[in-house]
Structure 1
Amino acid sequence: MKRWIPATIAFLCATLTACATMFPPDVAVGESESSVIAKRGEPTHRYQDGNQRLLEYATGPWGQKTWMARIGPDGKVVSFEQVLTSQKFGTLQVGTATKDDVLRTVGAPSETSYLNLSDLEVWTYPYKESNVWNSLMHIHFDKSGVVRKLMNGPDPRFDPDLRVPMGMPRR
């Protein structure tokens, strides 16, 4: 009769660990950088932006959120926000923004590619457009690393009509 107790405890521990990973604690303005790292773990990338540092917390190639903690010169959080949004992408100026500007604004891409005919490098970011639609933002750079085009559209990974069940394409 008591055999189910260890299994139940193991199940509850696994569930709580999964919840903690899926829903990490919030970060508040004014917290220390070490507190952010204690709560969120090591950042996926770090960037310098003038006298401030940025800690990026990307959710992976299938993730649609990247959190950016801006740390002031005093080592305290100035802001903590989810940056994969239409508003943030909209701040990137075509013809002016560089790869470094993009990294400091929306973080590292989930995928990169190259378009031979147009001679452009493309960084791709999955995100929830208007917090509703599964979308991809493609940022195109010329050889000098300047943004030449931003293009978004639906994320085909979430389109049921494009899924390939058991290796057979739908007709």
Structure 2
Amino acid sequence: MKKLIFTTIFPALLAACAGPPPAPGEPAAAVEAKLGRPTGVYRDGADTMLEYATGPWGQYTWMARIGADGKLVSYEQVLTGQKFATIKPGKDDKDSILRTLGRPAQVTHYHSVDGDVWLYRYKEQDVWNSMMSVEFNRAGVVQAMVNGPDEERENKRR
């Protein structure tokens, strides 16, 4: 299992750190040449979102938005307080969360929540090891978002 994680995640991490980030206007092929194969691809209207997740223990996910013309529109790290604040409970669903935040680090269930809970590790204010829980109802619509310390990461450091 460790070898599988290493061989699938490490190349994406290495590619993401290898040089300057892609610039708006670059063709999608140039973006993939710089960043490597995306960890996820999502349609967002006429645009395509390329996910570069550092997953399950990583605290960063970059999303490259490719426009209908096949060129890079934007490239950003999405596991931030500012991006989490754009999520609308009662409106956003699993598909919109994937397009906005990428895949979760973990999917779990709590007795107090009627549906799935997606967990995202991130650095709160680029300092604190944190976990954002996105809680869905049975229909897959966001019901709540709860953040707190990433206790697993903190316990691992001790």
CA displacement at 1:20 relative to structure 2: 4.6
CA displacement at 1:158 relative to structure 2: 3.3
Q: Are the structure 2 counterparts of residues 21 and 43 from structure 1 closer, same or farther at C-alpha, using a change threshold of 3 Å?
A: closer
The aligned counterpart of 2:75 is: 80
- After superposition, residues 103-118 of structure 1 pair within 5 angstroms as 103-118=98-113
Quick one: which of 140, 143, 151 aligns to 1:156?
Answer: 151
1:111 and 1:58 map into 2 onto residues whose CA distance is: 13
The aligned counterpart of 2:32 is: 37
1:50 and 1:22 map into 2 onto residues whose CA distance is: 26
- Percent sequence identity is 49
The aligned counterpart of 1:52 is: 47
- The unaligned stretches of length 5 or more in structure 2 are 1-10
- Size of the aligned set, in residue pairs, is 146
- The unaligned stretches of length 5 or more in structure 1 are 1-16, 166-171
CA displacement at 1:22 relative to structure 2: 6.7
Q: Are the structure 2 counterparts of residues 49 and 22 from structure 1 closer, same or farther at C-alpha, using a change threshold of 3 Å?
A: closer
Q: Are the structure 2 counterparts of residues 142 and 48 from structure 1 closer, same or farther at C-alpha, using a change threshold of 3 Å?
A: same
CA displacement at 1:21 relative to structure 2: 4.8
**Cα root mean square deviation, aligned:** 1.9
**Which of structure 1's runs of 4+ aligned residues deviate more than 6 A?**
none
TM-score normalized with structure 1 length? 0.80
Greater CA drift, 68-77 or 108-117: 108-117
TM-score normalized with structure 2 length? 0.86
Please say if residues 16 and 35 of structure 2, whose CA atoms lie closer than 8 Å, have aligned partners that are also in contact: no
- 1:115-168 Cα offsets, whole Å, 9 max, x none, are 234322100000001111110000000000100010000111332xx4597xxx
Quick one: which of 125, 128, 146 aligns to 1:130?
Answer: 125
2:31 and 2:108 map into 1 onto residues whose CA distance is: 32
Quick one: which of 138, 147, 154 aligns to 2:142?
Answer: 147
Q: Structure 2 counterpart of 1:84, which letter?
A: L
Q: Secondary structure at the match of 1:144?
A: coil
